[in-house]
Chain A
Amino acid sequence: MASIEIAGLHKSFGELEVLRGIDLAVEPGEVVCVIGPSGSGKSTLLRCVNLLEQPASGTIRVAGVEVTDPDCDIDAVRRGIGMVFQQFNLFGHLSVRDNITIAQRRVLKRSRAEANRVASENLDRVGLAGKANSYPAQLSGGQQQRVAIARALAMDPQLMLFDEPTSALDPELVGEVLAVMRRLAAEGMTMLVVTHEMAFAREVASRVVFMDGGTIVEQGSPAEVFGNPREARTREFLHRVLEPTRVDESEIGAHPGE
């Protein structure tokens, strides 16, 4: 059974159609990286998987449970799906430890001792064992994002969603978050990752999905998509992202020297 099965997914914000018929399956243990230009619908696709956005039509199954079914107990499904946001979204009024234990205690009904133990384990996993008593505002962006990952992992998810997890970070802090994600992938976690980190996608992804204009333009192994893209739009995008200093003025419609 696939971890995620998306079929015929459509989503609009008002007049704007953001997703125009997405079909995608993610198998257990796969790391699928979704790349594409801003506004291509990548994040919306991700947010539909745990119903942070309500799809207009189409079906989404997570571990066989149809989340788009109106009778689906979405809170129960979400417990099995970890999510990491671009802006971290740590709870500012809670210490790092409480950030990681509150859902364990309130949702999974774990005892305080059990929740604290799981929190320590996961903080250790992301290399922040000494920060349990800090508050989010006292941490760097990279540290906050690692706490957010630990918070998600503490719920023992079968699947992790990453929504541009390094886009809000200073460049020198990106590496520490990617290192944690790479380890997670190596341990066999099923991951759906929206990212602009092409090096990460190339190295870690089992499959790369290129989206543009609300559709999946092409997908394949990193070697295929990066090494030998079939579609012109993919080539254009990769050229602009991977070789930004080689984008010619003629490509952007500028007329120099007139």
Chain B
Amino acid sequence: MKLSRRRRQRILRVAGYVVFGLLILAVAGAADWGQLSDAFFRTDVAGSMFPEAITVALRNTILYTLLAFVFGLTLGLILALMRLSSILPYRWFATGYIELFRGLPALLVLFMVGYGVPLAFPAREIPGGLYGSVTVGLGLTAAAYMAETIRAGIQAVPKGQLEAARTLGMSHLRAMISIVLPQAFRIVIPPLTNEIILLTKDTSLVYVLGVTPATIELTKFAGDALNQRVNPTPLVVAGLLYLVITLPLSQVVRRLEHRAARER
């Protein structure tokens, strides 16, 4: 019997679903769920973490992320503009900075800022204490990534936009602010959100600077709870709380992309 093309395709698709489903079931069936839930899903351990998990740890994680993001975005924008500048030394500096900070582990940079800056400038300290150090320490690395993203965004805006603005008598700076950058930022919203999500997870490095119960963030908080209760359930709680931050972010991007698509 000869099958029609459509029928053949449908059989293949169903076969695909079946194989995929069986594979997942096989893995799930092989796992020892009793052991796993005793270790990772102990409600009493989870319950003992609240409300501090939210009022302190989650709050600080969000705060560190936002501070570093704003710092990184500002510095990244400046670096992107330097990278596109017609002035050669600016371009050199921006390129050197980006290559350096993209190449170093965030942990190392954070460490250098936390312990190196006080040594280099003993009379002054970074304002804001630990919050300031984290802002700069994580922001310096984030800026390098964001500079490249923003540069690509600016270059994706057609050259005619700048020409039209200049033709209307706008200065280069005014044309960048009113015409080019707003369009560039629309283009880079999705990759920039990626940056926030990466940054959110990088806040787990803050512990190297030594946190107090008031400045503790999610990962360190979970780590402490793990040591105290000798049970890894806190890691699962922390993981879920990270998702509480990152999932809505993805949602926001989707909405912004939708709006930008309408105006384009």
A residues at B contact (CB < 8 Å): 50, 52, 75-76, 78-79, 81-83, 85, 87, 89-93, 102-103, 106-108, 135, 137, 148, 151-152, 155
- Give the residue of B163, B168, B183, B186 whose beta carbon is less than 8 angstroms from that of A103: B168
Residues B160 and A87 in contact, CB atoms below 8 Å apart? yes
Cross-chain pairs A/B with CB under 8 angstroms, 19 sampled: A52-B167, A75-B171, A78-B169, A85-B163, A89-B161, A91-B164, A92-B161, A93-B182, A93-B186, A102-B168, A103-B168, A103-B169, A106-B170, A106-B174, A107-B168, A107-B174, A137-B264, A151-B168, A155-B169
Nearest A residue to B184 by beta-carbon distance?
A93
Interface string of B6-19 (1 = CB under 8 A from A): 00000000000000
Residues B169 and A76 in contact, CB atoms below 8 Å apart? yes
Given A87-B160, A137-B263, A92 and B183 touching (CB < 8 A)?
A: yes
Interface string of B171-185 (1 = CB under 8 A from A): 100100011001100
Chain A residue contacts of B59, Cβ below 8 A: none
Residues B170 and A107 in contact, CB atoms below 8 Å apart? yes
Residues B179 and A79 in contact, CB atoms below 8 Å apart? no
Residues A91 and B263 in contact, CB atoms below 8 Å apart? no
B249 adjacent to chain A (CB < 8 Å)? no
Chain A residue contacts of B169, Cβ below 8 A: 75-76, 78-79, 103, 107-108, 155
How long is the Cα–Cα vector from A135 to B186 in the complex, in angstroms?
A: 15
**Apart from A52-B167, A85-B164, A106-B174, 12 more pairs, CB < 8 Å:** A52-B166, A75-B169, A75-B170, A78-B166, A78-B168, A82-B167, A93-B186, A106-B178, A107-B168, A107-B174, A135-B262, A152-B167
How long is the Cα–Cα vector from A81 to B164 in the complex, in angstroms?
A: 12
Interface string of B220-264 (1 = CB under 8 A from A): 000000000000000000000000000000000000000000111
Residues B168 and A89 in contact, CB atoms below 8 Å apart? no
B165 adjacent to chain A (CB < 8 Å)? yes
Chain A residue contacts of B167, Cβ below 8 A: 50, 52, 78, 81-83, 152
Report the minimum CB–CB distance from A136 to chain B (whole Å).
9
How long is the Cα–Cα vector from A79 to B165 in the complex, in angstroms?
A: 11
Residues A102 and B164 in contact, CB atoms below 8 Å apart? no
How long is the Cα–Cα vector from A93 to B180 in the complex, in angstroms?
A: 10
B residues at A contact (CB < 8 Å): 158, 160-161, 163-171, 174, 178-179, 182-183, 186, 262-264
Nearest A residue to B179 by beta-carbon distance?
A91
Chain B residue contacts of A152, Cβ below 8 A: 167-168
Residues B170 and A52 in contact, CB atoms below 8 Å apart? no
Chain B residue contacts of A91, Cβ below 8 A: 161, 164-165, 179, 183
Q: Which of A52, A90, A106, A135 has the most CB of B within 10 A?
A: A106
Nearest B residue to A51 by beta-carbon distance?
B166
Given A106-B174, A106-B178, A155-B169, A89 and B186 touching (CB < 8 A)?
A: no
Report the minimum CB–CB distance from A133 to chain B (whole Å).
12
Chain A residue contacts of B165, Cβ below 8 A: 91, 103
Residues A89 and B263 in contact, CB atoms below 8 Å apart? no
Residues A93 and B166 in contact, CB atoms below 8 Å apart? no
Chain B residue contacts of A52, Cβ below 8 A: 163, 166-167
Residues B164 and A89 in contact, CB atoms below 8 Å apart? yes
How long is the Cα–Cα vector from A251 to B1 in the complex, in angstroms?
A: 63
Report the minimum CB–CB distance from B177 to chain A (whole Å).
9
Chain A residue contacts of B182, Cβ below 8 A: 93
How long is the Cα–Cα vector from A91 to B183 in the complex, in angstroms?
A: 9
- Give the residue of A82, A103, A135, A148 whose beta carbon is less than 8 angstroms from that of B170: A103
Nearest B residue to A100 by beta-carbon distance?
B168
How long is the Cα–Cα vector from A79 to B183 in the complex, in angstroms?
A: 23
Nearest B residue to A107 by beta-carbon distance?
B169
How long is the Cα–Cα vector from A151 to B167 in the complex, in angstroms?
A: 11
